[in-house]
Amino acid sequence: MAFSFFGGIHPKENKWYAENKAVQPFPEPDLLVIPMSQHIGAPCKPLVKKGDYVTMGQKIGDNQGLCVPVHASVSGTVKAVEMRPHSSGTTVMSVVIQNDHQNTLCPDIQKRTQEEVDKLTPEELLAIIREAGIVGMGGAAFPTHVKLSSGLGKVDTIIVNVSECEPYIVADDRLCQEYPNEMLSGLLIVMKILGLNSAHIAMEDNKPAAAKVLRREIDPRTGIVLDILPAKYPQGAEKQLINAVTGREVPSGGLPAAVGCAVFNAASCKAIHDAVYEGMPLIRRIVTVSGDIVMEPKNLMVPIGTSYNDLLEAVGHSENPYKVLSGGPMMGAAQYDLMVPVTKGSNAVTILGKANRYAIDEAQCIRCGKCVDACPMKLMPVLMYKALQTSDVEEMKRVHLMDCIECGCCAWTCPGCVPLVLAFRAGKQRVRDAAAAAAAKS
């Protein structure tokens, strides 16, 4: 049974730009930059140095704790190990590889037969997933093996997220149309690890072609069910999707496991299949490159480490971009340097022209309450913004600023053009800084 979560909006989807474009292999660039930080948690420590030769799929970075390794997406020579720009707006330690265009495969990569996979224990499967460097590929980039481990004995409902509610982005849509069996195979592995005999694939009703393919390929004996949900943004957010599929509400500050749920991205499921059956770590992913000024929108299978500039050249644009986003127009981050690389969490690069530029001399909250109606987290953005203006950290916490998922629904509905998401991001950092200062003092 499908429910409807509170709030939300219906922005113009603009998926028609790329939704009918089949996934194309991206011509490998001569130079790739592999960041050591592509996941939530501790960044990797480089395992190679300048001058080393690396093979495709070779592990080139790893660390202890909340971390997954990173791998070379091509074979070639390490030109540098240095700080490079990252799509998060920071600089991170990165391994720069000069591509030899030979794609020499790492000898550690070995395929497994179905019989061999059937004999693997959940613990062995978790180790494979960890070593493959798999993370949440919808943008969150949380290590998948940790999510699976923490859900053992707590989860009774698995949800595969194919909502893809952001405008322009169709990477998961195309994945379900072109790689359905790999995605379903990865989901069966997730079910085996968690010891469950059923799972949900949640998809919005604006993806009829993908739904048709999945209905054809899903074996009803597996216990996998396809749930078609009415399109509404931000349905792809974890807590909203859980509410839409199960009717359960994740408590403030809680995780999905608190209500017996675990959510996995469709691309992450395919990556699990590739790791377990093909022995291949996460070194490529589908990226939608689209936007209102893009001359030839595309869905590309891109080696991790490819620069955004290379992607822009591949699609062309009819005017100088006003804004280039990592992600979609609602939650994507504007880029200051187009030499930033594609990472494991990069599902789209959105290129927007000057028609999307709007500004107002004095943004002003008129207390209309539209942001309150739109907020899917049932927060009070008007009060959150007021707390930010007074710089009152305690008040920020009282109005649950930290529960904000930065989806942009409030800013989209605001007639006063108040930059609410930008303000809330700054406020959340202020709360974190205050907590860190208090911890240091104590």
| pLDDT single digits (tens) 167-199 | 999 999 999 999 999 999 999 999 999 999 999
Same domain, 119 and 258: yes
| Alpha-carbon span 265 to 233, nearest angstrom | 17
With a cut of 70, say whether residue 1 has pLDDT above it: no
Last residue of a domain, one of 224, 244, 278: 278
The parent domain of residue 161 ranges over 110-278
With a cut of 90, say whether residue 163 has pLDDT above it: yes
In a domain, 78, yes or no: no
Work out the percent of the chain whose per-residue pLDDT is above 90. 90
pLDDT for 429: 92
208: number of Cβ within 10 Å: 10
Same domain, 401 and 258: no
| Alpha-carbon span 374 to 334, nearest angstrom | 23
Residue type at 258 in one-letter notation: A
pLDDT for 25: 96
307: number of Cβ within 10 Å: 19
Same domain, 155 and 266: yes
Same domain, 127 and 229: yes
Same domain, 264 and 390: no
pLDDT for 235: 94
pLDDT band at residue 2 under the 50/70/90 scheme: low
In a domain, 155, yes or no: yes
With a cut of 90, say whether residue 315 has pLDDT above it: yes
Last residue of a domain, one of 259, 278, 297: 278
Across the range 57-81, mean pLDDT stands at: 97
Residue 409 carries which DSSP code? H
Same domain, 133 and 249: yes
With a cut of 80, say whether residue 139 has pLDDT above it: no
Same domain, 253 and 385: no
Last residue of a domain, one of 245, 278, 311: 278
pLDDT for 364: 85
**pLDDT tens-digit map of 193-232:** 999 999 999 999 999 999 999 999 999 999 999 999 999 9
Which has the closest alpha carbon to 316: 338, 335, 294, 300? 294
Same domain, 273 and 378: no
Residues pairing with 294 in the sheet: 317
With a cut of 90, say whether residue 135 has pLDDT above it: yes
**pLDDT tens-digit map of 256-292:** 999 999 999 999 999 999 999 999 999 999 999 999 9
pLDDT band at residue 359 under the 50/70/90 scheme: low
- Runs of H (alpha helix) within 90-203: 114-118, 122-131, 144-151, 171-178, 180-194
In a domain, 192, yes or no: yes
Same domain, 269 and 141: yes
| Alpha-carbon span 378 to 223, nearest angstrom | 33
In a domain, 299, yes or no: no
Structure-block tokens of residue 172: 């998961």
* C-beta separation of 305 from 33 below 8 A: yes
Work out the percent of the chain whose per-residue pLDDT is above 70. 99
In a domain, 326, yes or no: no
Q: Which residue do the tokens 């675990």 mark?
A: 262
Across the range 385-398, mean pLDDT stands at: 91
Mean of pLDDT over the chain: 95
Among the residue ranges 114-118, 365-369, 401-405, the one predicted with the least confidence is 365-369
pLDDT for 214: 98
Which has the closest alpha carbon to 158: 194, 182, 121, 122? 194
For the chain, percent helix, then strand, then coil, each to nearest 5? Answer: 35, 20, 45
Helix (H) or strand (E) holding 77: strand 76-85
Q: What is the CATH number of the domain that holds 185?
A: 3.40.50.11540
Give me the number of domains the chain comprises. 2
With a cut of 90, say whether residue 442 has pLDDT above it: no
Across the range 335-354, mean pLDDT stands at: 96
In a domain, 329, yes or no: no
In a domain, 328, yes or no: no
Same domain, 389 and 257: no
The torsion region of residue 62 among left (phi > 0), alpha (psi -120 to 50) and beta comes to: beta
Structure-block tokens of residue 237: 């957010």
In a domain, 24, yes or no: no
Same domain, 270 and 394: no
* C-beta separation of 306 from 341 below 8 A: yes
Cα–Cα–Cα angle for 151, 154, 157, nearest 5°? 85
Across the range 81-98, mean pLDDT stands at: 96
